[in-house]
Amino acid sequence: MTTILAVRRGGEVVVAGDGQVSLGQTVMKGGARKVRRLSPGGKEVVCGFAGSTADAFTLLERLEKKLEASPGQLARACVDLAKDWRMDKYLRNLEAMLIVTDGEGLFVLTGSGDVLEPEHDVAAIGSGGNYALAAARALMETDFSAEQIARKAMAIAADICVYTNGNLTVETVRK
């Protein structure tokens, strides 16, 4: 249970994730890092994950290998990962979602084989994702920067979703 939000604006993409780890109705940890930087082949890629942490780490490792095999081709690496995720007997049981960006492409990956490019330059996943998405879409009509939008939208989600806190990890990647 978490909230990950990505906002693209002004030549940069900001990915923000809350730090709450919940087990059922209990908060187990408040400062987890669910947004990570990968640097396969020298190109910066930022990933945020929601769902099972072990499952997400498995997917991030696989994504990194795909990016090493196809340097600079984020879309191809994401599609290859989604294919494996859907077709592989072991991987198809993994319960996580990813938001991935290199500053140019922005994708949401799911276990059902989806590689989605968001509309309106905003994407969100996790239990508070819909709250953060709605807030960010409304804030896109302001003059705020991508980071300001992400921080304000995440604060709104944290106020609404009991599985989201205000302890944020924010990473920015530029074109």
Candidates 2, 3, 164, 172; catalytic one: 2
Pairing of strands 115-116, 35-38: unpaired
Catalytic residue list contains 2? yes
* HSE-CB of 125 using CA atoms within 13 angstroms: 23
**DSSP assignment of 78-107:** HHHHHHHHHH-TTGGG--EEEEEESSS-EE
Q: How far apart are CA 135 and CA 31, in angstroms?
A: 23
List residues with catalytic annotation.
2
